[in-house]
Structure 1
Amino acid sequence: MTIHVENLKFQCIIGILDFERTSPQDVIINLHINYDYKEDFIDYAKVVFFIKETMIKSEFLLIEDALKEINLKLNKEFKAIKSIDLKITKPSILPDCMVSVSNFTIFES
């Protein structure tokens, strides 16, 4: 099974520039989680809450650090996860484009 979370938008502190450390900015999360569905399912509402809470509380300097931390925490919380394809976008950081960083992680059983 695959869970798709598309265009999850919220505000948080993320970035290394001075103004990014003082004012929350929009981020957009796109996520695909592949997992083995047997008897238990992964509650996508909990996944969304988990991601938002992690990003808001952590105030990451780099998107790369946020990606690594979210992957580790999701894998620890939801043992059925086989892989995560996660993209974090900062839609307003540059005036003429949206900037994103993504990664795809496969977890060993």
Structure 2
Amino acid sequence: MQSNIKIKTKFKCIIGLLDFERHTKQKICLKIKASSNEFLDYAKLCKKAKKFIKKSKFYTLEEAIKKLIAYLKEKFQHIKKIKIQITKLQIIKNTKVSVFFKEKY
């Protein structure tokens, strides 16, 4: 069974290098696209990804993405392809800052 999912969720977390970013949660948008030859439980994947990011309090978006990919690959070993994008929605007035990363296994 081929499984392709797309998830888009918004939530607040600690992420960033600056002093205020280490103490004040900011709103981000997390997008995940993943595919597998087996069933992917999108609700479980989304819940685990959000919990991981909130708990980890990353310094950079790049670090968050790379560690999130490794974490999801460990939890969902049948994932064959994954793309993650994290966007800071309110860090700069009238601007959205995003980083994305994709990987094939």
Query: What TM-score comes out, normalization by structure 2 length?
Result: 0.94
Q: How does 1:47-66 map to 2 (within 5 A)?
A: 47-66=45-64
Q: Match for residue 5 of structure 1?
A: 7
Cα separation, 2, equivalents of 1:12 and 1:69: 16
Alignment identity in percent? 36
- Root mean square deviation, CA, Å: 0.8
User: Of residues 74, 93, 96 in structure 2, which corresponds to 1:95?
Assistant: 93
Query: What TM-score comes out, normalization by structure 1 length?
Result: 0.91
Counterpart code for 2:14: I
Number of aligned positions between the proteins: 103
Q: Deviations over 1:33-63 (max 9, x none)?
A: 01113xxx22111111111111111000000
Counterpart code for 1:14: I
Runs of 4+ in 1 over 6 A off after TM superposition: none
> What's the CA shift for 1:96?
2.1
Structure 1, unpaired ranges of 5+: none
Structure 2, unpaired ranges of 5+: none
> What's the CA shift for 1:30?
0.9
